[in-house]
Chains A and B, each alone.
Chain A
Amino acid sequence: MEASKVIHAIYTDDDILMSAVKKVKAEKHHIEEIYTPFPVHGLDKAMGLEPTRIAITAFIYGLIGLTVAIVMMNFIMIEDWPQNIGGKPSFSYIENMPAFVPIMFELTVFFAAHLMVITFYLRSRMWPFKNAENPDPRTTDDHFLMEIAVHGNENELESLLKETGAVEVNLVDKAH
């Protein structure tokens, strides 16, 4: 998508935004993006976004962390050097397992949390020194912005968006 035109419709109220989203969806226009200063409850449902799968990744990462903990301590404490430390039974993993549980638990949480956060950053393309993709600085304060791609139907779209209560409708050239 090289130089194409998009419409930016700006709203000042999240309730109006929600009804506008529903209307635009009902008219079967594709909403490229919506910028809001805070999470609007139910917006993802109204836009028809797919539910996130990040919880599933976190579960898998947790299992990986658990495996790492078990393999690590089995090797260090049982296989590599099964020393008698204070009479703890280092004969097999299961015999000394209660002593390892705190580490198993913490590593599970550690892996699940950190890898999930990193996954989130990667998927949402966030990192330090990244250029902000903000079409209008007011959207970080008190305005809501809906971006719709234009395919030669500017006028029709513009009147529709005005109708939905947009305070501003701008036609913008978008260079990618």
Chain B
Amino acid sequence: MVLGAVGVGIGFMTSHKSFEEVEQLLAEESHHGGGHAEEASHDEASHGTHAAVDAHGDSHGESAHAEVDEHAKHIEHVQHQIANRPWSALYVAAFFFMMIALGVLAFYAIQIASQAGWSPVLFRVMEGITAYLLPGALIVLAIAVASGTIGHYNLFVWMDPEVVAHDKLIQGKSGWLNIRGFAFRGLIFIAGWSLYRHFSRKFSIAQDTAEDKSNFKKSFRISAAFLVFFIYTESMMSWDWIMSVDPHWFSTLFGWYVFASMFVSGITVIALISIYLKSKGVLEFVNENHLHDVAKFMFAFSIFWTYLWFSQFMLIWYSNIPEEVTYFVTRFQDYKLPFLGMVVMNFVFPILMLMNADYKRIPWFVVMAGLVILFGHYVDIFNMIMPATVGDRWFIGLPEISSVLLFAGLFIFVVFTALTKAPLLVKGYPFRKESEDFHY
């Protein structure tokens, strides 16, 4: 236990360093945000000179050419896209790390509800990761709401009353898509998830010293209930937080698609953190058989993700209905590399790397595949959000990388702090012995 505390303390210190590092980066980022505004005005100016004479004539009034109008609209459009970029970068990164915690929470609940015999030795790692859920989800919701209140409707166009006034389609959806309802629903989702997380953690720790199995039974029941709640709220969350960046577009399997993405990244993070803690010598009871099982989950859910990704893509591509297909047209034209690159990273790479049973037992191999999968799913979220907010003005540059570093630092800080709060092995859990002796 002392060794565990020391090992986690080391992990905590290394994560703390990276946290400060990112804080510095955040400052840089806000500086960069300023740079962006400059760039935007500069861009506007250069476009402006092009149309200066016309615009001049326009301001003077009488003959407003349609051409000028269009040009001004274009500038406005581009300016808006550029202003959106730091917002979207922040949002993508915040959502990415939130969804890891949420995916792990769902995985954790499934392990308890299915009474899995192999995973209890990893429960404390999972509980540590899900500690990020509450702050992470609140940050995501805060960014989303702030973009509609403080910001200039930088993420969700339906938050802009002027846009809605001219848009019959969004008007028709305003019963669902309004800021108040959005915030309210978001808070309900987060409250439900966090309550489950809070109580399952409480029961799990109480079970360590309990005489009987009542805590285990309670956590079993709330896990089953949570899974029902989760699958509804996760779907709605994906409509609210992701799909509504394109309020003209909808897809029925979108919730599952987002779920697959969060689930596989969550499992990957469980693997990475377990391997890290094991290498520090605080998880002796985790052996290569556990690693093998987690890697199998990474492999299988990478394929599941691909299945949903392709099902969504192919159905829309095949029928080619204009109002649906624009979603993929913009992604294919402007985002060819990330759009196809993520399929390689999330499917081709893991399927070839993790197919061999022996490779799944080699830590560095799993770490390597895991990092590629994580990066691939970041790009996945990037592909969901960016085309709607910045369009063809995307780039993975300073705002994106520094937001990722910021939230990675925060994530690591929160997770490793939570890991120090409890012993890393569940004591009184009924399947602990089986899990410790687990071998495949």
Contacts and interface: CB of A to CB of B under 8 A. Distances in A.
B434 to A, nearest CB: 15
A94 to B, nearest CB: 11
A41 to B, nearest CB: 11
A98 B317 CA distance: 8
B313 interface: yes
B310 interface: yes
A99 interface: yes
Nearest to A55: B357
Nearest to B355: A59
Interface residues of A, number: 6
Interface string B303-318: 0000000100110011
Contacts, number: 12
B285 to A, nearest CB: 22
Interface string A62-76: 000000000000000
Interface in A91-132: 98-99, 101
B371 to A, nearest CB: 24
Interface in B310-363: 310, 313-314, 317-318, 320, 355, 357
A98 B318 contact: yes
Contacts of B357: 55
Contact of B314 (A59, A87, A98): A98
Interface string A48-62: 000000010001000
Contacts of A101: 310, 314
Interface residues of B, number: 8
A101 B313 CA distance: 12
B320 A87 contact: yes
A99 B310 contact: no
Contacts of A87: 320
Nearest to B358: A51
Contacts of A59: 355
Nearest to A56: B356
A87 B317 CA distance: 12
B32 to A, nearest CB: 38
Interface in B277-313: 310, 313
Contacts of B320: 87
Nearest to B315: A98
B355 A98 contact: no
B335 to A, nearest CB: 17
B296 to A, nearest CB: 14
Contacts of A55: 357
Interface string B6-42: 0000000000000000000000000000000000000
Contacts of A98: 310, 313-314, 317-318
Contacts of A99: 314, 318
A98 B314 CA distance: 6
A61 to B, nearest CB: 14
Contacts of B313: 98
A87 B319 CA distance: 10
Q: Which 3 A-B pairs have the closest CB atoms?
A: A98-B314, A98-B317, A99-B318
12 contacts: A55-B357, A59-B355, A87-B320, A98-B310, A98-B313, A98-B314, A98-B317, A98-B318, A99-B314, A99-B318, A101-B310, A101-B314
Interface of A: 55, 59, 87, 98-99, 101
Given A99-B318, A101-B314, 6 more contacts: A87-B320, A98-B310, A98-B314, A98-B317, A98-B318, A99-B314
